[in-house]
């Protein structure tokens, strides 16, 4: 039996397919599922180098990343219950939660802390204001507090500036239903079908030969049938 490719190999191939092309924005969901921490680190490290060199953007969601993988990210987007709790540089995310009274322990991974600090079940263990009684902080309260945090204020200021459409690329937004006219679309379809036929030329040649043989056999059978009927009608006439 021939062994197929593993899950990790499929992940790497899929990631490579996304990198091929002119796309400057990559959106990847749970690319670490089924991979070990070392492989995940290598993939994220390669993506980090790619976006820095190509001046692109990669939005990646990971399931419990290792600390060394977490440290590769430039920005963190923390979403809980459909609300943005934090969106900004990775260096300030722990500072934001400290202003809310929650501190990440020294031997605790930052990714695990961020995942648990908004949970009602695990939030109390990170409370550090011993002089104040602990009360559960909801996701809505976190989101509202982020708006007054200096990172949140800076983000709001950037978003309040209207986008200058003159700086956008002409091909960024389409103004027509199709990017090409009907003639070019027809040529592209014919080129695609021709390429598929070339790749599967053996199958097409075999099918064509099969149809030809059946046609010849049918033609010979019809000739014999016509001659037979003529012979019968001739004897009936006599």
Per-residue CA distances from 19 to 25, 34, 44, 54, 130 (Å): 10, 21, 13, 11, 49
Residue 190 has pLDDT above 60, yes or no: yes
Domain 1-73 has CATH 3.40.50.300: yes
Angle between helices 201-237 and 182-199 (to 10 degrees): 90
Specify the 3-state DSSP secondary structure of 33.
Answer: coil
Residue 85 has pLDDT above 60, yes or no: yes
The reported pLDDT for the residue numbered 1 is: 44
Residue 117 has pLDDT above 60, yes or no: yes
Residue 93 has pLDDT above 90, yes or no: yes
Q: Are 72 and 45 in contact (CB under 8 A)?
A: yes
Which of 2-16, 26-40, 52-66, 90-104 has the weakest average pLDDT? 2-16
Residue 237 has pLDDT above 60, yes or no: no
Mean pLDDT, residues 17-21 taken together:
76
Q: What is the DSSP letter of 72?
A: T
Residue 119 has pLDDT above 80, yes or no: yes
Residue 86 has pLDDT above 90, yes or no: yes
Per-residue CA distances from 72 to 61, 87, 213 (Å): 13, 16, 64
Give the residue extent of every domain in the chain: 1-73, 75-164, 182-237
Cα 97 from Cα 133, distance rounded (Å): 17
pLDDT band with cut points at 50, 70 and 90 for residue 218:
low
CB neighbours of residue 56 within 10 Å? 15
Strand partners, 164: none
The reported pLDDT for the residue numbered 90 is: 92
Tell which residue, 8, 22, 31, has the closest CA to residue 50.
22
Q: pLDDT digits over 167-189, tens only?
A: 776 666 666 666 677 888 888 88
Residue bearing tokens 């990669």: 58
Mean pLDDT over the full length of the chain: 82
Cα 74 from Cα 52, distance rounded (Å): 10
- The three-point CA angle 90-95-96 to 5° equals 90
Cα Rg for the chain, rounded, in angstroms? 33
- Give CA 92 to chain center in angstroms: 27
Q: Are 47 and 15 in contact (CB under 8 A)?
A: yes
């Amino acid at each position: 039996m021939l062994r197929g490719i593993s899950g990790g190999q499929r992940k790497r191939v899929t990631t490579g397919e996304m990198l091929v092309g002119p796309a400057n924005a990559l959106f990847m969901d749970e690319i670490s599922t089924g991979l070990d921490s070392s492989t995940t680190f290598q993939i994220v490290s390669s993506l980090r180098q790619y976006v820095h060199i190509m001046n692109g953007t990669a939005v990646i969601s990971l399931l419990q990343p290792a600390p060394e993988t977490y440290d590769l990210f430039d920005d963190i987007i923390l979403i809980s219950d459909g609300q943005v709790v934090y969106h900004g540089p990775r260096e300030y995310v722990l500072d934001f939660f400290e202003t809310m009274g929650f501190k990440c322990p020294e031997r605790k991974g930052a990714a695990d802390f961020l995942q648990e600090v908004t949970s009602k079940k695990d939030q109390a263990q990170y409370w550090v204001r011993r002089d104040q009684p602990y009360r559960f902080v909801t996701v809505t309260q976190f989101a509202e507090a982020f708006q007054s945090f200096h990172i949140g204020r800076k983000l709001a200021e950037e978003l309040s500036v209207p986008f200058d459409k003159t700086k956008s690329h002409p091909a960024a937004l389409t103004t027509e239903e199709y990017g090409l006219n009907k003639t070019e679309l027809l040529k592209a379809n014919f080129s695609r079908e021709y390429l598929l036929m070339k790749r599967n030329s053996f199958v097409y040649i075999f099918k064509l030969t099969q149809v030809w043989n059946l046609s010849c056999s049918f033609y010979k059978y019809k000739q014999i049938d016509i001659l037979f009927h003529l012979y019968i009608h001739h004897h009936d006439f006599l």
